[in-house]
């Protein structure tokens, strides 16, 4: 029992880090653009499809770690320009637009990649004994990649000119524009970065889950829960909430049914909405 508890706690941390990577993109987009992006799960899905395509065409999985975020960034910037910029001032419309975008992305992938789910073998094979369960080595690698990507993003946000611009536009768009910061370009870069983070999450998760045109549908609710618990637009809060949620589900799953664990996460989210609507991690850097 104790061994299972420890193993599931560690697994919760590992899985939470992967989810944090995906949820961070959602939070970035909301934090800066005030867009509730219902197509964010599909950005993750696009990442898994890019990983599968890279693997089948080159025979190697590794280039996907570079290609998926790059393609994601370009696609994100294009989507922001074509779909979201024209409706910039209408928050309700952005929900409808991103919902439509989600359907378009899914159907395009269904028509090109096909409706059948695929599996990607992990690039690092093998398992080890983690407190009595056979645990994949690749999962630890995935967690390490997630930590690196999260750290790199926060460094970028706080130690580069573009990162400073992004925080300035988030804080006060009018003043930032008056100071000569190109707000429209910042919006485009931000959406591109959100897409790139989700696509990278897709590459990292693809050998653990599957490649499927509807893969993003299942990821989105968990990401939203992380964003809500962490505080809308609160980036460190979102990452911490994703880890907390997965960790919590891992622990509860060791002594109750997995469904009870999921219910516990939802109860936590409801409690946060009721008692701390600003999120659990208010006060952390936005």
Partner 1 sequence: MENSNDPKVNRRSFLQYALAGGAATGVANLTIMKDLFAQAPAGPIVIGHHVELTGGFASWGYWHDKAARKAVDLINQGGGIAKRKVVLATEDTESNPASGARKLRNLIQRANAEFVMGSVHSGVMLAAIPIATELKTIYMSMGEATEATGSKGTRYSFRTGMDTYSIAAAGVPWCMENLGKNWTVIYADYAWGQSHFQETKVIVEKLGGKVVGNIPVPLDAKDFVPYLTQIPAETQVVFSIFFGSLSVAFYTQSKSMGIGKRAKMYSVSGTLEAIAPADIEGAAEGVYILENFPRMLKYKDDGFHKEHNKIMELDDIDAREAGSKRIMAKSHAWQSWEDLYTLKAAIETSGYKTRKDTEGVIRALEGLPMKNSLGHPQGDKLLRKEDHSGILDCYISLIENGRFEVKKKIPKEDLAKNMPVRHDLSKMPV
**Residues at the interface with partner 1 (CB under 8 A):** 4, 7-8, 11-12, 15, 107, 110, 114-122, 127, 133-136, 205, 208-210, 212-215, 217-219, 221-222, 246, 249-250, 253-254, 257-259, 261-262
Decide whether 144 or 155 has the Cβ nearer to partner 1: 144
Instruction: Give the other-Cβ count within 10 Å of 257's Cβ.
Output: 10
Decide whether 222 or 281 has the Cβ nearer to partner 1: 222
Three state DSSP letters for 127-157: EEEECCEEEEHHHHHHHHHHHHHHHHHHHHH
We find the least distance from the C-beta atom of residue 182 to partner 1, in angstroms, to be 38
Q: Give the burial class of 120: count Cβ atoms within 10 A of its Cβ; 0-12 exposed, 13-18 middle, 19 or more buried.
A: buried
We find the least distance from the C-beta atom of residue 115 to partner 1, in angstroms, to be 4
We find the least distance from the C-beta atom of residue 219 to partner 1, in angstroms, to be 7
Decide whether 128 or 156 has the Cβ nearer to partner 1: 128
Q: Give the burial class of 81: count Cβ atoms within 10 A of its Cβ; 0-12 exposed, 13-18 middle, 19 or more buried.
A: middle
We find the least distance from the C-beta atom of residue 175 to partner 1, in angstroms, to be 41
Long-range contacts of range 265-268, CB-CB < 8 Å, 24 or more positions apart?
A: 265/225, 266/225, 268/229
Instruction: Print burial letters for 157-184: b (CB count within 10 Å at least 16), e (below 16).
Output: beeeeebebbbbbbeeeeebeeeebeee
Decide whether 156 or 255 has the Cβ nearer to partner 1: 255
Decide whether 167 or 214 has the Cβ nearer to partner 1: 214
CA-CA distance, 200 to 242, in Å (whole number)?
16
We find the least distance from the C-beta atom of residue 249 to partner 1, in angstroms, to be 7
Decide whether 27 or 106 has the Cβ nearer to partner 1: 106
We find the least distance from the C-beta atom of residue 229 to partner 1, in angstroms, to be 17
């Amino acid at each position: 029992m104790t061994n299972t508890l420890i193993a599931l706690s560690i697994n919760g941390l590992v899985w939470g880090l992967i989810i944090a990577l995906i949820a961070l993109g959602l939070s970035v987009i909301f934090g800066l653009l005030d867009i509730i992006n219902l197509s964010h799960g599909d950005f993750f899905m696009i990442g898994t499809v890019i990983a599968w395509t890279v693997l089948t065409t080159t025979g190697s999985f590794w280039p996907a770690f570079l290609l998926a975020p790059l393609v994601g960034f370009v696609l994100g910037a294009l989507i922001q320009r074509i779909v979201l910029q024209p409706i910039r001032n209408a928050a309700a419309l952005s929900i409808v637009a991103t919902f439509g975008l989600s359907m378009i992305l899914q159907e395009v992938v269904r028509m090109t990649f096909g409706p059948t789910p695929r599996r990607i073998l992990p690039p690092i094979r093998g398992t080890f004994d983690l407190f009595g369960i056979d645990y994949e080595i690749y999962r630890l690698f995935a967690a390490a990649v997630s930590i690196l990507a999260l750290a790199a993003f926060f460094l970028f946000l706080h130690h580069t000119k573009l990162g400073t611009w992004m925080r300035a536009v988030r804080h006060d768009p009018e003043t930032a524009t008056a100071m000569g910061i190109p707000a429209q370009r910042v919006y485009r870069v931000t959406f591109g970065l959100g897409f790139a983070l989700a696509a990278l999450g897709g590459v990292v998760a693809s050998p653990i889950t599957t490649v499927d045109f509807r893969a993003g549908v299942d990821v989105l609710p968990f990401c939203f829960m992380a964003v809500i618990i962490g505080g809308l637009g609160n980036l460190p809060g979102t990452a911490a909430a994703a880890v907390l949620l997965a960790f919590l589900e891992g622990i509860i799953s060791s002594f109750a049914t997995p469904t009870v664990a999921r219910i516990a996460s939802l109860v936590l989210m409801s409690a946060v909405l009721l008692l701390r609507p600003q999120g659990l991690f208010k006060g952390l850097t936005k």
